[in-house]
Amino acid sequence: MSAFIVTFAVILTVIAVMAIGVIFGRRPIAGSCGGLARLGLECDCDKPCPKKLARLQAEKTRIESQTPATPEKAEPRPVQAPTDE
C-alpha cells in the first residue's frame, strides 16, 4: 500500500510541476510528433487560432494564384469501322 501512495505522490508532483511550468511559460503543452496534422486530420474549430488563420489565408492565396492548366489539344483519331472476318 505504501508503494501505491508513494507512486501517487510522485505522479501528482510531476503534474503540479508541469502545470507551474505552463503557467509561468505561458505556452500550452504541445505534442512533439505533429499531433492531428501528422495523422492527416484537421481541426474543425469555430474560432481557429491565429496560426491556423494564417495557414488558411496562405493556402487560399496560393490556390487563387495558380492558373489552371490548359489541356493539350490532341488530334482526333479516325474511327475505324469494325470488320467482319
Please state, in angstroms and rounded to a whole number, the distance separating the CA atoms of residues 19 and 14: 9
- Residue 76 counted as domain residue: no
Q: Please report the pLDDT score of residue 42 as a whole number.
A: 65
Res. 33: pLDDT tops 70: no
Helices (H), the chain: 2-25, 35-38, 50-65
| Within-domain flag for 57 | yes
Q: Is residue 19 part of a domain?
A: no
The answer to whether residue 85 sits within a structural domain is no
Residue 24 lies in a domain: no
Res. 5: pLDDT tops 60: yes
Domain membership flag for residue 30: no
pTM: 0.33
- Which has more pLDDT, 64 or 32? 64
Residue 52 has a CB neighbour count (10 Å cut-off) of: 13
- Asked if residue 82 belongs to a domain, the reply is no
What is the extent of the structural domain holding 43?
36-64
> What is the tally of structural domains in the chain?
1
pLDDT of the residue at 31: 60
Could you report the per-residue pLDDT of 69-84, keeping only the tens digit for each?
555 666 667 777 777 6
Does 79 fall in a domain? no
Q: How confident is the model at residue 30 (pLDDT cuts 50, 70, 90)?
A: low
Three-state DSSP at 78 gives coil
Q: Please write the tens of the pLDDT for every residue from 15-25.
A: 998 888 878 87
